[in-house]
């Protein structure tokens, strides 16, 4: 089963999260505002349509993700609008970044910095472009990488929806995302049937994956893999694999009474990130909220 983000009221989800995860209240307040704007942009941003006819289902079946087959983050003028909007939102919740974000926005408006250039293929990858911007335009590489990761999520979320609509059902048996190739940030296990679904924070995609295999290293065994729980928190855990030293925060769901945003849920489990990283494990993928050291 391949699915993705659905339409819901993100403000209501955030309100419930503030009550449920009071320990993560400050983080939810800051990042929640950014997530809410991302979801809106992903719904409304007018992107040029993809050439989905070039996506090969047989390649997907063998583990070749969509982003390995076609360009999902190409040369597009619409990235300018998305970047400027998100820079403004981030400045409001993280005022310490204001000066650098104002500089970045000014460069974009003057045409000296083109957001889509960040995603052009290069020998060293996207991180190298952040360094180029830093050296030539005096933009903080870390702040540039942060903003462009937010932009990337907006575009990839919309692209994932296009791909699902174009392809319908397709087979996928890997632990990394079938759309963008990133590893999951959180898993959801349904109480009825015990099915595990992996979730990608890079594009909002989720997919079913067996519970007896590590998504990261594909180790298949019960020994060396385990779930860590905190006392009286049986609906929250962290899957760990001693083979690759990775962990994956995990939720258990009984029914579908409330809509859920998996990024918000992942932020609410920050206490598990702290615990697992203190034990020496690393997250399967780095997110804004789980890079603690």
Same domain membership, residue 146 and residue 212: no
Size (the chain), residues: 293
* Alpha-carbon distance values, 31 to 105, 107, 213, 266, 290 (Å): 20, 25, 31, 12, 12
Report d(CA 161, CA 40) in Å as an integer: 14
Closest CA to 152 of 71, 235, 208, 219: 71
Cβ neighbour number for residue 153 with a 10 Å cutoff: 26
Point out the domain boundary residue: 167, 188, 205. Answer: 167
Burial class (CB in 10 A: 0-12, 13-18, 19+), 135: exposed
CATH of the domain at 183: 3.90.1670.10
Same domain membership, residue 194 and residue 98: no
Report d(CA 114, CA 12) in Å as an integer: 35
Owning domain of residue 216: 1-25+173-293
> Residue 16: inside a domain, yes or no?
yes
Angle at 269 between CA 16 and CA 201, to 5 degrees: 90
Torsion-angle region of 138 (φ positive above 0: left; ψ -120 to 50: alpha; else: beta): left
Same domain membership, residue 107 and residue 20: no
pLDDT of 123:
46
Q: What is the pLDDT along the chain (293 residues), one digit of tens a residue?
A: 444 544 468 889 999 999 989 999 999 999 999 999 999 999 987 787 787 778 999 999 999 999 999 988 866 677 999 999 999 999 999 999 999 999 999 999 999 999 998 988 764 555 588 888 988 889 899 999 999 999 999 999 999 999 999 888 889 999 999 999 999 999 999 877 889 999 999 999 999 999 989 999 999 876 777 889 888 788 899 999 999 999 999 999 765 656 789 999 999 999 999 999 999 999 999 999 998 77
Same domain membership, residue 86 and residue 5: no
> Residue 117: inside a domain, yes or no?
yes
pTM of the model: 0.90
Same domain membership, residue 70 and residue 146: yes
As for how many domains the chain has, the answer is 2
pLDDT of 255:
59
User: SS3 for 4?
Assistant: coil
Q: Which residue shows structure tokens 């909007």?
A: 85
Angle at 185 between CA 228 and CA 280, to 5 degrees: 45
């Amino acid at each position: 089963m391949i699915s993705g983000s659905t339409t819901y009221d993100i403000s209501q989800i955030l309100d419930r999260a503030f009550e449920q995860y009071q320990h993560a209240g400050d983080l939810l307040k800051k990042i929640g505002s950014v997530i809410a704007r991302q979801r809106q942009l992903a719904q409304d941003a007018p992107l040029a349509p993809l050439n989905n006819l070039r996506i090969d289902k047989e390649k997907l079946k063998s583990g070749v993700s969509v982003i390995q087959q076609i360009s999902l983050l190409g040369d597009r003028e619409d990235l300018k609008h998305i970047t400027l909007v998100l820079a403004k939102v981030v400045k409001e919740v993280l005022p310490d970044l204001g000066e650098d974000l104002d500089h970045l926005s000014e460069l974009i408006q003057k045409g000296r910095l083109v957001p889509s250039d960040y995603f052009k293929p290069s020998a060293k990858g996207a991180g190298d472009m952040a360094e180029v911007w830093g050296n030539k335009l005096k933009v903080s590489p870390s702040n540039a990488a942060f903003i462009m990761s937010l932009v990337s999520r907006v575009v990839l979320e919309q692209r994932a929806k296009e791909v699902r609509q174009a392809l319908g059902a397709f087979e996928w048996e890997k632990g990394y995302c079938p759309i963008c190739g990133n590893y999951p940030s959180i898993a959801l296990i349904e109480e009825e049937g015990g099915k595990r679904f992996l979730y990608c924070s890079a594009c909002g995609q989720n997919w079913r994956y067996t519970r007896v295999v590590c998504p990261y290293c594909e180790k298949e065994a019960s020994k060396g893999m385990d779930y860590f729980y905190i006392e009286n928190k049986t609906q929250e855990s962290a899957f760990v694999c001693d083979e690759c030293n990775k962990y994956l925060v995990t939720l258990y769901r009984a029914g579908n009474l409330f809509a859920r945003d998996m990024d918000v849920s992942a932020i609410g489990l920050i206490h598990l990130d702290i615990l697992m990283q203190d034990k020496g494990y690393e997250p399967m993928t780095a997110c804004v909220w789980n890079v603690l050291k």
